[in-house]
């Protein structure tokens, strides 16, 4: 599995449905955010959008045609219906080997069976593989894309709170899960963190807390306030990362990202985090929260990706769906050249 900053052929997203459960009472504010994602990403790559049906395709087409800054020739719509819009978790994981692009089709159960039905979401990877004419591999276990992050050189980051939760793969222990990750993603080494952040209904996806920004460099979120419930888990993860080694036994450079102030809606704490950024070919999409720490987070990520525009987008409505830009996107790498 290539690293996210390696060249993309496209980014895949799934258009949110008004009747979905992700944005109760707030759906009308959501399509403009998806349009903004498409606008920014289409400046540097194709964008493939899953839509529900013919009527949904007409609605989304009309929105795109009225958005003058979207590179319309780079946007394709596909009638691949989904239950919810979180393509990072239900979408295909693309892998490369010896000149071939292929798809890994993990099982999907809506983060431990929390939000049925999820049959449409579970079918997305194989439908994409069929559409693109790609070989698909079926590991036969449950896994979400947001639960893992790779450096493209053989190391993978994940969390114990998510992968070892019995609501996914109750018969598999740590060693068995590592075997599947190595077998299907081509990694050689797994770095395990502990818990995720408060408000995260995924049981602690790593893409809300800790991310690779280079093969040897990691950014990880920290909470400075000792009274905040995120302080201790994030400090524990920081300590683990400082002791961790890569696939060749070398230490990582570990950078810290601030956490925004507590974000709530209707009395519910939301998983607001700057770590849920997405790295496109030309742009890095970073969630912002009208918070004093926004500028600092953008500056840190700007130094990590100096050749890309780093764009902060107000995500206070987006995070009501318990996700942000990384959760909504899935990269398709440029196919590798076949060996001579």
Give catalytic residue positions.
Answer: 327
Residue 186 sits at the vertex; the CA angle it makes with 125 and 114, to the nearest 5 degrees, is: 40
Locate tokens 């700057």: which residue?
274
Cβ-contact 221, 209 below 8 angstroms:
yes
Strand partners of residue 76: 48
Q: Which two tokens stand for residue 33?
A: 């955010």
Cβ-contact 186, 95 below 8 angstroms:
yes
Strand partners of residue 135: 102
| Rounded Cα–Cα distance for residues 181 and 183 (Å) | 6
| Residue 313 backbone zone (phi > 0: left; psi -120 to 50: alpha; other: beta) | beta
| Rounded Cα–Cα distance for residues 184 and 47 (Å) | 25
In the β-sheet with 217-222, what is the strand arrangement from edge to edge?
210-214, 217-222, 253-258
Cis, bond preceding 28 (omega within 30 deg of 0): no
| Rounded Cα–Cα distance for residues 81 and 20 (Å) | 12
Strand partners of residue 150: 156
Q: Which residues of 161-188 are buried (b: 16+ CB within 10 A; e: fewer)?
A: bbbbbeebbeebeeeebbebbeebbbbe
Cβ-contact 192, 245 below 8 angstroms:
no
């Amino acid at each position: 599995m290539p690293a996210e900053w390696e060249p993309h052929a496209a980014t895949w997203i799934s258009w949110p449905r008004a009747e979905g459960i992700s944005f109760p009472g707030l759906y009308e504010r959501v399509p403009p955010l998806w349009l903004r994602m498409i606008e920014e990403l289409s400046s540097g790559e194709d964008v493939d959008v899953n839509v529900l049906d013919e009527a949904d395709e007409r609605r989304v087409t009309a929105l795109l045609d009225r958005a003058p800054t979207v590179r319309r020739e780079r946007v394709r719509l596909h009638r691949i219906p989904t239950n919810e819009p979180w393509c990072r978790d239900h979408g295909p994981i693309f892998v490369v080997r010896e000149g071939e692009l292929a798809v890994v089709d993990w099982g999907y159960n809506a983060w431990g069976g929390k939000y049925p039905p999820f049959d449409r979401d579970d079918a997305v990877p194989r439908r994409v593989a069929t559409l693109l004419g790609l070989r698909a591999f079926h590991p036969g276990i449950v896994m979400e894309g947001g639960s893992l992050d790779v450096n493209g050189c053989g190391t993978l980051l994940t969390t114990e709170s998510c992968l070892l939760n019995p609501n996914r793969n109750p018969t598999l222990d740590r060693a068995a899960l590592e075997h599947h990750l190595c077998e299907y993603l081509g990694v050689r080494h797994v770095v395990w963190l502990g818990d995720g952040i408060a408000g995260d209904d995924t049981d602690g996806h790593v893409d809300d807390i800790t991310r690779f920004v280079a093969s040897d460099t990691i950014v990880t979120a920290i909470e400075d306030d000792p009274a905040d419930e995120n302080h201790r888990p994030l400090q524990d993860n920081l300590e683990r990362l400082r002791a961790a080694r890569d696939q060749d036994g070398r230490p990582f450079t570990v950078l810290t990202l601030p956490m925004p102030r507590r974000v709530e809606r209707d009395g519910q704490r939301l998983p607001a985090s700057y770590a849920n950024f997405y790295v496109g070919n030309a742009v890095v999409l970073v969630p912002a929260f009208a918070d004093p720490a926004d500028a600092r987070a953008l500056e840190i990520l700007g130094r990590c990706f100096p050749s890309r525009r780093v764009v902060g987008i107000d995500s206070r409505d987006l995070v009501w769906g318990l996700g942000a830009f990384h959760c909504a996107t899935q990269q398709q790498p440029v196919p590798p050249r076949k060996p001579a």
